[in-house]
Amino acid sequence: MEDNNQNPFRPFRSSDKQQTSQPQQKVSDSNKDNPTSHIPKKDIFLMSFFGVLAAGIIILLLLLVTGVLTGYVSFDIDLPEFPGEEEVILEETPVIPIEENVTETVVEEVVEEEEEVLPCDEDISLELNDGYRYGLKVITLKLAGEYSAQISIGGKSGFIDVGSTETINGLDVTLIDASESDQTAIIQVAC
């Protein structure tokens, strides 16, 4: 009991001092073989942090160089002028005004505006992403399937099944035929 009072309770350590001194000698022997074991963990953490940081910078620089080479990245920088450089200024030759007597004759022409005849109830063939001007609006085939198509008129889109009529942006459009393999569609616009 007296031994227990002299030695405080150590739950994870051996009370035998000889057992603890022997593993320490083995560790110190292994340290002689490995010269990096004396580097503190803080330094290892900092070195790995700077390594990852440097790798990230290198990757970003590679992406920037590839962007410049492919033309996706461009620099439009006006470089400052250095002192001592002379700026070349082109001199303009003076323009001497010449007085002329000009007589203007105004001729009025009557221009008859022809109204654009829009194809009503006629077949209009559309190809994928090609625009067809119909009055002031552009009709575009966005997607074609075997039994339906997506048509865009003036920026507003709608899906139409073959044989059905939909109102898209104020125009009544009927899908006559659609082909997924050719990516084409035939429509009619009602007047």
For 150-189, the pLDDT digits (tens) are 999 888 989 899 999 999 988 899 999 888 888 899 998 8
What is the predicted pLDDT for the residue at 20? 47
Secondary structure class of 179 (helix, strand, coil): strand
What is the predicted pLDDT for the residue at 101? 72
Distance CA 121, CA 191 (A): 7
Q: What angle do CA 129, 155, 115 make, to 5 degrees?
A: 90
Distance CA 119, CA 189 (A): 8
pTM value > 0.75: no
What is the predicted pLDDT for the residue at 55? 97
What is the predicted pLDDT for the residue at 82? 66
- Among 182, 174, 189, which Cα is nearest to 145's? 182
- Among 156, 163, 159, 154, which Cα is nearest to 143's? 159
Distance CA 25, CA 183 (A): 79
What is the predicted pLDDT for the residue at 88? 65
* CB atoms closer than 10 angstroms to residue 38: 7
What is the predicted pLDDT for the residue at 111? 66
Secondary structure class of 154 (helix, strand, coil): coil
Each residue's pLDDT tens digit, 25-37: 454 555 555 655 6
| Residue ranges in the chain modelled with pLDDT below 70 | 1-37, 78-89, 102, 111-117
Q: For residue 123, give both structure tokens.
A: 């077949």
Q: For residue 148, give both structure tokens.
A: 């339906």
Domain segments of the chain as ranges: 2-38, 124-189
